[in-house]
Structure 1
Amino acid sequence: MADTAVHTAAGHDDHHDDHHGGHYTSTGLSNNKLAMWLFLGSECLLFGGLISTYMLYRGRHTSNLGPDQVWDIPFTSASSFVLLMSSLTMVLAVTAAKRHDDRTTNVWLSITAILGSLFVAGQVYEFTTFYREGLGFTTSLFSSSFYTLTGFHGVHVTVGVILLLSVVGMIIRNRIPGDKAEVVELVGLYWHFVDIVWILIFTLVYLIPA
């Protein structure tokens, strides 16, 4: 009987190891987290290329339609603050998810999505204002690179908002497979990445003189 118990325990340990081996890499990260980090790494390369292109072409514009003439720094600063605050609410959502507090998790995820939506709405308003002032996508190399860079980031924020609302819906219907806290954390990694990229874009595009 003792031998049977030992073999049973050993078999259980082997199954336990196989289970974790199938979900965790040798780095200690889960497969899902590793995949997210690899994805974010590729996104860094894409944004790096777009930022480099903008920095190369930022001085190629007409005399009255350059950064110094069209930027509304106070408005963009306020919009940026809204996005940065969403990082805080995302942290609170992840913390609540780790406590298995679904209601609080959904509250903070929803607030994060609202803040992200406000940022996107501000960006649309800004683009519309620039266009009315004569700064279209094809006006100059500067405008093309600017709209491509900031628009690409805006798309990422929009995708993030969709992910946030999707997770909220899945939590309400209890349809999240696997570790619920990890899912929220993965969305949080993406959201923080989007926020960090915006800090870089805002600094290089809006604050540093051309």
Structure 2
Amino acid sequence: MLQKTNTATLADFDHHDHPPSQSVFGFWVYLMTDCILFAALFATFGVLGHQFAGGPTGKDLFNISDVAVETAVLLISSITYGFAMLGAHQRKTGAVLGWLSVTFILGALFLVLELREFSHLIAEGAGPQRSAFLSSFFVLVSTHGVHVFFGLVWMAVLMMQVIRRPQLDDREVRRLTCLSLFWHFLDVVWICVFTFVYLGSVI
């Protein structure tokens, strides 16, 4: 009887000493604030998207086939990250690192394509200072690009942490889960950008 009591007390102590992590819930809260940020940027583009100041329009500037390639690259990176999470839940370190590496390369390729698009627009005299339309476009798309860049930095840090630990534990899986939420969120935002900004400006 005394042994059972001691065991129960020890279990209670361990429960209070190590409460369940709220990191995933907290990250959902952060994503909600990011939703507000992007909603404000989309609303700004909606208001200024037809203020061309006599300059080029989206139909004159945007190459939908190139943007479609960017979109495909980012969506495929979301799939490869999903495979990384499957490996994480199965505690397969090699699979996690392999799929994260593929995801990182695809994310970096997306940024290269986006920067190439920006440089092409600026070379044609269609920089952010040309019109309200282009100002709102550059702010919205570059804000998404900055998020992708920090996502890649975060991914590289997590890959280093996985390499240093011989066995994945719950803490690493939670960290990978938070980045997974972030990465998929960026995919959803980009689909909105592709539909609302690019297609909406061309059609």
TM-score, normalised to structure 2, is 0.94
Aligned residue type for 1:179 = R
CA distance, structure 1, for counterparts of residue 155 and residue 139 of structure 2: 24
Deviation (angstroms), 1:64: 4.7
Instruction: Determine whether 1:37 maps to 2:44.
Output: no
Q: Shift in Å at residue 132 of structure 1?
A: 1.1
Counterpart residue number, 2:3: 5
SS in 2 for 1:192: helix
Opposite residue 114 of structure 1, the aligned amino acid is I
Alignment size in residue pairs: 201
Residue 9 of structure 1: CA displacement?
2.1
- In 2: Cα distance, 1:193 partner to 1:138 partner: 29
User: 1:202 is matched with which residue: 171, 194, 199?
Assistant: 194
Q: Deviations over 1:42-69 (max 9, x none)?
A: 0000000001001110100144511010
1:124 Cα deviation after fit: 0.2
Which whole-Å CA distance do the structure 2 matches of 1:106 and 1:19 have between them? 32
1:195: how far off? 0.8
Q: Deviations over 1:76-106 (max 9, x none)?
A: 0011100000010010001101111111101
Unmatched 5+ stretches in structure 2 = none
2:157 to 162, 166, 189: 166
Shift of 1:209: 3.7
Alignment partner of 2:179 out of 187, 193, 205: 187
SS class of match (1:208): helix
User: Is residue 17 of structure 1 aligned with residue 15 of structure 2?
Assistant: yes
Structure 1: gaps (5+ residues)? 24-29
Q: Tell me, in whole angstroms, the C-alpha distance in 2 between the residues paired with 1:139 and 1:63.
A: 9
Q: 2:73 aligns with which of 72, 75, 82?
A: 82
* Deviations 1:135-160, CA, capped at 9 Å, x for gaps: 11111101110000000000000111
User: What is the rounded CA distance, in whole Å, between the counterparts of 1:180 and 1:148 in structure 2?
Assistant: 34
What is the rounded CA distance, in whole Å, between the counterparts of 2:41 and 2:181 in structure 1?
21
Q: Determine the structure 2 residue equivalent to 1:26.
A: none
Aligned to 1:96: 87
- For 1:27, the equivalent position in structure 2 comes to none
Task: Kindly indicate whether structure 1 or structure 2 has the higher relative contact order, using CA contacts under 8 Å at least 6 residues apart.
Answer: 2
Q: CA RMSD in A?
A: 1.7
Q: CA deviation at 1:177?
A: 7.9
| Contact in 2 for aligned 1:61/1:140 (Cα 8 Å) | yes
Match of 1:126 in 2: 117
Measured in 2, the distance between the counterparts of 1:99 and 1:192 equals: 20
